[in-house]
Amino acid sequence: MTDAKGTPSDDDLVFKALASPVRRQILDLLKESPRTTGEVCAKIEDLDRTTVLQHLRVLETAGLVNGDKVGRQRRLTLAPLPIKRIYDRWIGDYARAAVDLLESLGQ
């Protein structure tokens, strides 16, 4: 959904970020532990550094990744609140409805 100026909503940015398998792979890496930009680039072996940095920029714009400068390195951490917001709004309701349906079938 966009606002009156055509700017994507926060949820749109999160869905766009999650649509890419590479970006989901980066989120999985950061879920394990915080990493430097260089460590993330080294783990995504089939892409060059510039492409990985572009994916990181999309994740940061969506608020899914935080980058903090530590000396000469950027330390990347997962920011789970946007995913929780998506879960609460979309997935949680559907999961509860499915559980209710299964419960009613069991009776």
Q: Specify the higher pLDDT residue, 38 or 7.
A: 38
**Other Cβ atoms closer than 10 A to 50:** 8
Q: How far is the C-alpha of 107 from the C-alpha of 15, rounded, in Å?
A: 37
Q: Specify the higher pLDDT residue, 76 or 84.
A: 76
- Each domain of the chain, given as residue ranges in start order, spans 10-79
Q: Is the pLDDT of residue 5 over 70?
A: no
Q: Which two tokens stand for residue 87?
A: 């879960």
Q: Which two tokens stand for residue 89?
A: 């709004």
Place of tokens 């398998």: 21
* CATH C-level class of 10-79: mainly alpha
